[in-house]
Amino acid sequence: MRCNPWECTSSAPRLLLPAHRLPRTHSTALAASGGKLPARPVGIGSAAPSTLITNFDLESVHDTSDEWIRTRTGIRERRVLVHEGTRGVVAAAEDGGRVDTEVPESLRTLGVEAAQRALEMSGVDPSEIDLVVCATSSPDDLFGDAPSIAHAVGCDAAKCAAFDLTAACSGFLFGLVTAGQFLGNGETNKALVVGADALTRWVDWEDRNSCILFGDGAGAVVLTSDGGGGEDEGDGCGILGYAMHSNGGGYNDLKCIYRGEPKKISTPGEGTVVHDGSYDLMTMNGRKVYSFATREVPDVLEEALDRAGLTVDDVDHLLLHQANIRIMEVVAERLGVPMEKVITNLYKYGNTSAASIPLALDEAVRSGRVKPGDVIACAGFGAGLSWGAAILRWG
C-alpha cells in the first residue's frame, strides 16, 4: 500500500487581532508584518529547463504510476536541470553593449532569462535598476547568484546593489517584501526580484515519496516605487499588506544539512582535520509539513489581508506556493475562496520552491487572467520553517 507523499513521512506596528484570530505563539517563532509598501509590479517573466520528466517516465524508476502521483499531488510532469546542452541568452558585451550568445543551461541562466523577460515587459532599462534580490536555496555559486544575474542583464554596477536571500519556498515572497522596504526608503526607485531554485539537485531520487514532488525553474518581477505609496498616491497598485513568520522549532521537518568530508592537513604536530564541503540530500517529514502548511497559511493570509485593510471577498486571485494541490484545496476551503480563483500551474512544473509563485503569476498575467488592478493574495511556506503572505494589486 502506497503512502501519501505529504501525509506519511519589522519595524511596523504590531497587528492587534481579535482573540479568535491571534497567531499561535511559539518560543522559537519570529514575525514581521506591515501595510502598504511602494512596490508596484510592472513586469514579470519566467524560465524553465528544457528537460521534461513526466509521471510516466518515473514509472520506470519506481513502483509508482501517473494516476497515483497525479491524484495525490496534482503533478503530471516537471522540468529538471541536467546541465547538458546550451541555452540562448542576451549577455553584456565588453564594450558595454548587448550580444546574443549560447551558454550552458544552469540555474543562473534561467534566472537571467526570467529577469530579461520581466524587464522587457516592464519597459524599464536594466541600467535603471537600483536593487537585485535573488531568492534561492540552490544557487550555482555558493557565494550568491544575484550579482552575476545583475551583470548579465545589464544593470549598472556603479549604482545597483545585488544579493541573494535564502528562505526556501518562502523565498520569493520574503524577497518581494524586502525589496518593498528598500523602495520605501526614498533612495531606491526600481528593483528586480528573482526567485530561482533547482531542488532536484538535492532530492533523493531513490525516495519515491519525495522525488515525484520537485522541479526546477526561475521567475522574476520588476518593481517600481511610483504609484503605490500613500493612501492617496497613484492608483494604489503594489504591496497592500504583508506578514512573515518563521519558527525554528520545525527545523528538522524539512532540511538539507551540511555534510563535510574529513580531510587532514599537515600542520605542525598531529595535523588538523578540516572539511571538504558538501551537503546531504534533502529530507522531509511529509505529514508534519502538510499539517503545518494547512494550519498556518490560512491564518497568515488573513493577517496580511487585515494589514491591507481588505477581506477575503476583495481577493480576485489566490496564489499559493505550488507545493501540492491538496494543500491548495484545503487552504482555499478554509478561507472560503472558490478553486476557480486559485492560480496554479503545479501540474506542469511540480514544486519549484522560490520560483513557484512568480512562475505561476507570469503565466496568469501573460494569458490575460490577471489584469491591471486585480488583487492577488499570495502565500509562501517551507523550510525553516517559514511562511508568509503578501497582498498585491497588479498594475
Q: Is the pTM of this model over 0.75?
A: yes
CA separation for the pair 14, 32 (Å, rounded): 8
Tell me the pLDDT of the chain (395 aa) as tens digits.
444 555 443 334 344 443 334 445 455 567 788 889 999 999 999 999 999 999 999 999 998 899 999 999 999 999 999 867 677 766 667 776 777 878 889 999 999 999 999 999 999 999 999 999 999 999 999 999 999 999 999 999 999 999 999 999 999 999 999 999 999 988 899 999 999 999 999 999 998 888 999 999 999 999 999 754 444 455 688 999 999 999 999 989 899 889 989 998 899 999 899 999 999 999 898 899 999 999 999 999 999 999 999 999 999 999 999 999 999 999 999 999 999 999 999 999 999 999 999 999 999 999 999 999 999 999 999 999 999 999 999 98
Cβ 33 vs Cβ 10: under 8 Å: yes
Cβ 364 vs Cβ 341: under 8 Å: no
Enzyme catalytic residues: 169, 321, 351
